Structure 1
Amino acid sequence: MNDKYIVYFISRAKANMIKFIENKLKENKLDDLIPTHGNILTALYESDKNLTMKEISQKIGKDKSTVTSLVNRLITLGYIEKEKCTKDKRVTYIGLTQKSRDIEDSFNFISSQVKETAYSNFTEDEKKEFLRLLRKLSSNFKDANN
């Protein structure tokens, strides 16, 4: 088996997926958003409550500085808002605005199109195995970095 192109194919798949998402955002008049904003919005939509930066960071697997940058941009765009905790002023909660609630159906539709496209021509067993292998690959690199 010739496996020397693994990084190339992973990179190409990611680039093609990002382009697909960008096109879908544009088609749905959501081109002020970028694909990585979707991770934060998904975390907030799924939690159905306000989250701290730390909670968002853990849910989406990104470091706090990256999350802070993305959150600040989403605040500027009006999709989310910050709220200080009344009990502990050091804690800031991030919550959805009406603008983000208004796009939730479109957002979910785009997400379903991404999944549908990603897994087209995959059997259920192939989906499970692919996910298992991706987790293993990710874990290998995580372990090597620690």
Structure 2
Amino acid sequence: MSENLSLKAFVVLMKASKSIQEKVKKDISDHGMKTSDFAVLEALYHKGRQTVREISQAVLINTGSITYVIDKLETKGYLERSNCQEDRRVVYIQITDQGKQLMDEIFPKHQKVIDQLFADVTDEEKVNLIDILKRAGKQSDTGGQ
């Protein structure tokens, strides 16, 4: 029986993903944060002001849970809300100076951890990996059809 490379690739991807997620979660925890808090701050830090919906889609947290995370971060002074003048249903979230200072301090350290995880992977391999994962993700979005 021949080896099923799709199945093997899937298993390796899942194991690598779990291992990487655990390392990243520990790094974030070492900075005294939860992964969801860091993800929201990181999205605002790099993308600027966003709606709750945009943040939710960017960090893959449902809108019900994201409100709780935003509330906690707002209480800590890391972000603030502002209402959209054109549509009262829309609320913008933006990082505060205090939140930016926090991310200025911890994000470079976090990025080094990520760089270390991929230290044995060449830039060309990273580009190929990104392309492969995007194609696999698109295939799953279309139901494998």
The TM-score range, normalised by the shorter chain, is: 0.7 to 0.9
Structure 1 residues 97-120: Cα deviation after superposition (integer angstroms, max 9, x where no partner): 343122112332233124312321
Determine the structure 2 residue equivalent to 1:9.
Answer: 12
CA pair 125-103 structure 1, distance change in 2 beyond 3 A: same
Distance 1:22 1:55, change over 3 A: closer
Map of 2:88 onto structure 1: 89
- Matching residue's letter, 1:125: E
Q: For residues 1-146 of structure 1, what are the structure 2 equivalents within 5 Å?
A: 1-3=3-5, 4-27=7-30, 30-31=31-32, 33-48=33-48, 50-60=49-59, 63-144=62-143
Tell me the alpha carbon deviations over residues 89-145 of structure 1, each in whole angstroms, 9 at most, x when there is no partner.
211111113431221123322331243123211112111101100111111111118
TM-score, normalised with respect to structure 1: 0.76
Letter paired with 2:18: A
For 1:79, the aligned partner's letter is Y
Structure 1 Cα separation of the partners of residues 27 and 86 of structure 2: 41
Distance 2:76 2:19 in 1: 26
CA RMSD of aligned residues (A): 2.8
Q: SS where residue 93 of structure 1 aligns? A: strand
Gaps of 5+ in 2: none
Question: Aligned to 1:36, what secondary structure does the other structure show?
Answer: helix
Q: Distance in 1 between matches of 2:139 and 2:72?
A: 32
Taking the aligned partners of 2:75 and 2:16, their CA distance within structure 1 comes to 30
The structural deviation recorded for 1:62 is 5.1
Contact kept? 1:78, 1:99, Cα under 8 Å: yes
CA distance in 1, matches of 2:103, 2:63: 25
- Change over 3 Å in CA distance of 1:56–1:145 after alignment to 2: farther
Instruction: Tell whether the 8 Å contact from 2:24 to 2:114 is kept in structure 1 after alignment.
Output: no
Distance 1:6 1:66, change over 3 A: farther
Q: What TM-score does the superposition give when structure 2 sets the normalisation length? A: 0.76
For the Cα contact (< 8 Å) 1:80–1:96, is it kept in 2?
yes
